[in-house]
């Protein structure tokens, strides 16, 4: 099998292209990688010598467009803006690196300090995740730790909605707060914890393990964004080793329909995958099936139509506002 990753010209000259190349070489060490004018072609070991790979891949695409077992093509979107939308922006290992260089930084720094001084239960929300099958009651199997945007906004001098980048910048606080959230009370099912690869290797993660013990740690599912994994291939490889040693299963997620093919390419067989319902519906059933519906979590489900879409594809894990409403209805006996 061959995988052709088509990169826009700008991406071939950017760090994204270098990071992707390093990631392929680390995660597929026995594969051959050929660089072409179009992008990268990854070949199984022994399939063909690299000088002939580009010509053969192009010919296979012409002759066997319906045979993905022979060659798969992952085409990243043209243009720097589209590429950024597909892959997102890498977050650094410190707050200063995470915050964009604009006047709002001071506000976010103040909010960071404010939330750090509050009881985590006042600004951390546990979003329920359910297992669901047709004709069966929803069964709560996990929670995702996330920042309660409304509670965080109330900590500002002037309450206002927090943009997505602000919530992302504040996510490291979840790791700092996690020992107090799960160390003294039983964890119901699994607990999804947003992390970067660097965070999984950090002293903060060591402190979490020391506080809750390895048995509880094995019930935490580190949730890493695809953009962070691509941007830090070396840290990602090391993080996988550590998490596997701790008995943890990784959840890898992306937010845009344009990057679902890349998610399918770079995920490992044991990974759980997370995709927002809107992105999954935009990408279509074929792209979702390529991810493996049996290991997919459909996030941000807002309507019953989102649930029906997922069930129709064989997805069994759901999260979002409609899930919370469904659980509330079951408690009332509706």
Tell me the mean pLDDT in the region 183-202: 79
Highest mean pLDDT among 60-64, 82-86, 161-165, 292-296: 292-296
| pLDDT computed for residue 98 by the predictor | 37
**Rounded Cα–Cα distance for residues 161 and 41 (Å):** 44
Those residues whose C-beta lies under 8 Å from the C-beta of residue 8, and which sit 6 or more positions away, are 76, 77, 78, 79, 80, 83
Candidate from 61-65, 152-156, 328-332 with smallest mean pLDDT: 61-65
Name the residue ranges covered by the structural domains of the chain: 2-87, 95-331
Chain-centre distance for alpha carbon 214: 23
| CA-to-CA separations, 105 to 96, 99, 108, 166, in angstroms, rounded | 8, 6, 5, 9
Beta-ladder partners of 142? 129, 190
Residue 303's pLDDT band (boundaries 50, 70, 90)? very high
- 241-269 tens-digit pLDDT: 899 888 899 999 988 887 888 888 888 88
Write the pLDDT tens digit of every residue in 109-154: 777 778 888 888 888 988 999 998 887 788 889 999 998 888 887 7
The answer to whether the CB of 254 falls within 8 A of the CB of 44 is no
Task: Name the region of 46 (left: φ>0; alpha: ψ -120 to 50; beta: rest).
Answer: left
Looking at every residue in the chain, the average pLDDT score rounds to 76
Residue 131 falls in which region: left (phi positive, over 0), alpha (psi -120 to 50) or beta: beta
Q: Please list the residues that pair with 225 across neighbouring strands.
A: 253
- Mean pLDDT within 96-117: 59
pLDDT digits (tens, 9 = 90+) for 7-61: 777 666 666 677 677 766 666 677 777 777 777 777 765 555 544 555 555 555 5
User: Quick one: pLDDT at residue 26?
Assistant: 65
**What is the per-residue pLDDT for 234?**
74
Residue 121 pLDDT: 84
Per-residue pLDDT at 66 exceeds 70: no
95-331 belongs to which homologous superfamily?
EAL domain (3.20.20.450)
Is residue 97 over pLDDT 50?
A: no
| pLDDT grade for 285, boundaries at 50, 70 and 90 | very high
Q: Residue 88 above 50 pLDDT?
A: no
CB burial of residue 231 (10 Å; 0-12, 13-18, 19+): buried
| 300 band by pLDDT with thresholds 50, 70 and 90 | very high
> Would you place residue 102 in the very low, low, confident or very high pLDDT band (cuts 50, 70, 90)?
very low
């Amino acid at each position: 099998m061959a995988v052709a990753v088509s990169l826009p010209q700008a991406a071939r000259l950017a760090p994204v292209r270098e990071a992707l190349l390093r990631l392929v070489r680390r995660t597929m060490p026995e594969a051959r990688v050929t660089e072409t004018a179009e992008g990268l072609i990854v070949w199984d070991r022994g399939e063909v010598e690299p000088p002939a790979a580009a010509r053969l891949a192009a010919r296979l695409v012409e002759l066997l467009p319906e045979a993905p077992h022979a060659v798969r093509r992952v085409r990243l979107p043209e243009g720097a803006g589209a590429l950024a939308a597909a892959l997102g922006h890498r977050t650094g290992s410190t707050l200063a690196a995470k915050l964009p260089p604009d006047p709002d930084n001071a506000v976010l720094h103040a909010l960071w300090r404010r939330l750090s001084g509050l009881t985590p239960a006042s600004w951390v929300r546990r979003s329920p995740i359910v297992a669901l099958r047709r004709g069966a009651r929803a069964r709560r199997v996990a929670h995702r730790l996330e920042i309660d945007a409304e509670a965080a906004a109330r900590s500002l001098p002037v309450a206002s909605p927090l943009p997505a980048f602000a919530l992302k910048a504040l996510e490291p606080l979840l790791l700092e707060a996690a020992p107090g959230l799960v160390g003294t009370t039983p964890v119901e099912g699994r607990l999804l914890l947003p992390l970067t690869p660097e965070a999984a290797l950090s002293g903060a993660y060591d402190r979490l393990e020391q506080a809750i013990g390895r048995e509880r740690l094995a019930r935490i599912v580190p949730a890493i964004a695809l953009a962070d994994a691509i941007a830090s291939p070396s840290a990602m490889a090391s993080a996988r080793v550590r998490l596997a040693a701790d008995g943890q299963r990784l959840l890898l997620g992306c937010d845009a329909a344009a990057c679902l093919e890349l998610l399918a390419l770079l995920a490992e067989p044991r990974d759980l995958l997370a995709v927002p319902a809107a992105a999954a519906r935009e990408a279509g059933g074929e792209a979702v099936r390529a991810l493996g519906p049996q290991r997919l979590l459909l996030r941000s489900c807002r309507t019953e139509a989102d649930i029906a879409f997922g069930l129709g594809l064989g997805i069994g894990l759901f999260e979002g506002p409609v899930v919370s409403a469904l659980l509330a209805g079951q408690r009332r006996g509706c």
